[in-house]
Amino acid sequence: MVKKILVVVDYQNDFVDGALGFSGAETIYEGIRQKVLEYLERGDFVFFTLDTHDEGYLSSREGKALPVVHCRKGSDGHALYGELGQFEGDPHVWCVEKPAFGSLALLEQVKRVCPEAAEIELCGVVTNMCVIANAVLLQSGFPNAEITVDAALCLSFDPALHEKALDVMEGMQMNVIHRMK
């Protein structure tokens, strides 16, 4: 039986209603929560990425380009949004902290848990930054897996960049679902 993998990218308090929160980010919460439940009820795997920064963030390359302190480890903003934190500790759930848009640690953890992954689905925020970066890494690490992005459960602070990122992922032969054009 092939296990499926869901990756929920950076759906943390600071990206919904905190330091980098943006209008509409809360609207995908229930859909993400339901999708996590579906995966877990089937016995599949769920990975949450956690954008994670320390006190040196503002002197980092990213911090110089985006000088807004956010997702400091241990802060309320670092936590998963809403009740998603209730899934931590489930034997089919992994939380992966990442200091950059894409996460090599995520790729390594997915390879350890499910080295023959055939289906990987992504959702979360920000489509044109962390979602696309992790989708590309996972596609590179699993070149024969079907990579799916649920467009209805991804958002960006910039709707035009959201659409462009979806176009790029489609152009890279990823399956973009729930998309209205």
Output the CA–CA distances (angstroms, integers) from residue 144 to 18, 23, 120, in the order listed: 37, 36, 11
| Domains in the chain: boundaries | 4-177
Identify the residue whose tokens are 């996590």: 36
Whether the per-residue pLDDT at 179 is higher than 80: the answer is no
What is the per-residue pLDDT across 107-124, written as a single tens digit (0 to 9) for each?
999 999 999 899 999 999
Render pLDDT for 36-74 as a digit per residue (tens, 0 to 9): 999 999 999 999 999 998 888 888 888 888 887 899 999
Token code pair at residue 110: 């997915």
**In this predicted model, what pLDDT tens digit does every residue of 63-104 receive, in sequence order?**
888 887 899 999 999 999 999 999 999 999 999 999 999 999
Instruction: Provide the pLDDT for residue 180.
Output: 56
Q: What's the fold here for domain 4-177?
A: Rossmann fold (3.40.50)
87, 179, 102: which is closest to 138 by C-alpha? 102
- Distance of alpha carbon 85 from its chain centroid, rounded? 14
